[in-house]
Amino acid sequence: MTDPSLHEQFMRLHGESNEEAEEAASMLGHAAEASGDQVIAVSACLLGEKTRYDGRDAHVPDIVDPLLRRRHMRVIPLCPEILGGMGCPRDPVRFVVGDGEALLRGEPARIEDGLGRNWTAPIVLGAKRAERLADLARASLALLKERSPSCGSRSIHGPRGVVPGRGALAARFMHRNLPVASETDTSPLRFSPFCTKL
From first to last of the 198 residues of the chain, give the pLDDT tens digit.
557 899 999 999 999 999 999 999 999 999 999 999 999 999 999 999 999 999 999 999 988 888 888 889 999 999 999 999 999 999 999 999 999 999 999 999 999 999 999 999 999 999 999 999 999 999 999 999 999 999 999 999 999 999 999 999 999 999 999 999 999 985 545 545 444 433
Peptide bond into 89 cis (omega under 30): yes
Sign of the C-alpha dihedral, residues 91, 96, 99, 104?
negative
pTM of the model: 0.93
Extents of the domains making up the chain? 4-194
